[in-house]
Chain A
Amino acid sequence: MFNKRYVNPWTIILTILSLVGLGAWVYQLTHGLIATGMRNIVSWGLYITFFMFFVGLSAGGLIVSSSATVFNIKEFKPVAKPAVLLSITCIIVATLLIFVDIGRPDRILNLVFHPQFDSPLTWDVVVITLYLATSLVYLYNMTRAEPNQRNVKVLSAIALPVAILVHSVTAWIFGLQIARPTWHSALMAPLFVASALDSGLALLLIVLIGLNKFTSFKVEKKLISTLGGLLAVFIAVDVYFVFSEILTALYPGEEQLMGYLTLMLSGSLAPFFWGEIILGAVVPFLILVVPKNRMKSSLMVLASALVVVGVLFKRIWLLFSSLLLPLIGLAPGVTLGAYQMPQTFGKAATPGIWDTVGSYAPTWVELAIVVGVCAFGALIFTVGTYFFLTPVQTAEALPKQGGAVSAT
């Protein structure tokens, strides 16, 4: 199993980053979640942001690839394998992010032994498990020496709705909360699916161009160009939903809701909101809408990367817009839940534990863990690429490209 071609600078760097992340997680385990920037008002942070983000990346890729088989779009079929592999990787990353977020990971099996089916989080556990299983079987069936076309067709017909469902359920974790004005919206699930489509497809495009460049797995430029056109459409749909959502919230001018909107449109979350709209949507849309640009790999990578970052920005403003402002914002506020015994105890004022408005900045522990988990995902994908997309036989049969494979 273990092959020398698995060891190269790329996999070594990813392994080191994963280990650093693991170390940071051990640090977090020994100190508690106090090691993060989260406190009682902003009780979810970077982990949940990236959780949403990766579920989206995963679902988007699988929706595009399974549509190829379900709707019999022949041109798209070559991307099915890398797309499913990417989906599997991203959903594993998402699951790991939940795992590092919870306060008592030792009790994680309570989710299995004491499930409470009114909770969208329980729905998510069920759907993600189903989704991972479907994707794995789907990948297995596609990568067999002689794929059974009927099986692949049936599996893709299951994978497509499950992929839409997995991201909708993730949206409902937020969208069903009456306590959170900017989350509580029927548009949340469609909005999440739209973001999944554009970010997932954008990541898939980056990966396809990367595979073209560094491995023996090749995808035609024309197909990449077609997918780029599709991406432009998805961006437009995404922005349309965001616009509809914001307009609906803004128009009545209701006082409390305006507080949250001000935060997004001109407050501390504005860089993320406008960053998403301008850098994550308008700019890549203008690049992709010109057919000539779609033939240039560099521009495609740039546009796709902007879309991916834009959707990450959207996750940020979406999550924090609701968490930052408590509905009852009276002084002295909410107790934050962190207490450090001061050196001056008994002599000077004790540390402030109150706040009426939330604040959040990720700590190095959170950043290291998130980077580590992402690196681990990239590692899974890379090994998966060697294993499923460019097996050794191909490398031996084509010595020139085989050389390229071991160099990656």
Chain B
Amino acid sequence: MTKKYGMVIDLKRCIGCHTCEIACKLENDVPMGMYWNRILTEGGKYMDTPKGEYPNVQRGYLPLACQHCENAPCVKVCPVAATYKSEDGRVLINYERCIGCRYCMAACPYNVRVFNWQEPVRIPDFDYGSADTPKRKRGVVEKCSFCEQRVNKGEQPFCVEVCPARARHFGDLNDPTSEVAQLVRARKGEQLLENRGTKPQVYFLR
């Protein structure tokens, strides 16, 4: 059976520390003004606002990056096949082919795609990402690739590796003995906006 890479995020373990967000930015050389991986607050209008009314309050977080959908709307709409579904189930981008039409951004229900509106700005002023992270120029769309440069070498995505709460798990969803498949089974993993039928390969445990 072919691989289907996926991720499981345990929201019970997530402490909202944003480590994965920053680690992702560093590993993937993401320029200023954008993130591939965002930690959203499930409470109110501001970061870290708790859910509910005092005294019944609770903090909740939703780490959001590309859902690597099995039925990916962005892959369908790309007119030049710059965004594609790899054999092992990841949604990847060929940054050298992207024409910058931003149709994929309109098609994505999760708003996880970011566009290089300007010449990428970096602080400090050099490419701080890993050496083999694909380069992106002005005028193309980019997003989470499950750290393709790491996974291709058999490593874990960086966000999984750095998570201090061990809330993130990565593996082959098609392998019933894998950690991710077992977690999804045992704890009834939920998908985001399931009713859109995009079949995300990122599961959340509540």
Contact = CB atoms under 8 A, between A and B. Distances in A.
B45 A331 contact: yes
Contacts of B73: 177-179
B76 A337 contact: no
A335 interface: yes
Residue from the set A36, A43, A98, A323 with the largest chain B CB neighbour count within 10 Å = A43
B111 A332 contact: no
A249 interface: no
Interface centre among B101, B103, B141 (most CB of A within 10 A): B101
A338 interface: yes
| Interface of B, helix, strand, loop or mixed by DSSP | loop
A371 interface: no
Interface stretch (A105-113, A150-158, A273-281): A105-113
B79 A337 contact: no
A200 B197 CA distance: 37
A32 B118 contact: yes
Given A103-B138, A328-B192, A331-B49, A116 B80 contact: yes
B11 interface: no
Interface stretch (B27-35, B147-155, B175-183): B27-35
Contacts of B34: 40, 335-337, 339, 353
B109 A104 contact: no
B99 A110 contact: yes
A110 B97 CA distance: 7
A328 B111 contact: yes
B31 A339 contact: yes
A39 interface: yes
Contact of A335 (B43, B110, B114, B119): B114
Best-buried of A31, A174, A180, A334 by chain B (most CB within 10 Å): A334
Contacts of B81: 114, 116
A116 B107 CA distance: 15
A82 B141 CA distance: 41
B198 interface: yes
A115 B116 CA distance: 23
B135 to A, nearest CB: 14
A263 interface: no
A114 B106 contact: no
Contact of A103 (B64, B102, B197): B102
B41 A122 contact: no
A43 B107 CA distance: 11
A328 B139 contact: no
Interface string B53-86: 0000000001010000000010111111110000
A110 B99 CA distance: 7
Given A104-B98, A116-B78, A337-B34, 7 more contacts: A119-B77, A121-B103, A328-B111, A331-B47, A335-B34, A335-B114, A341-B123
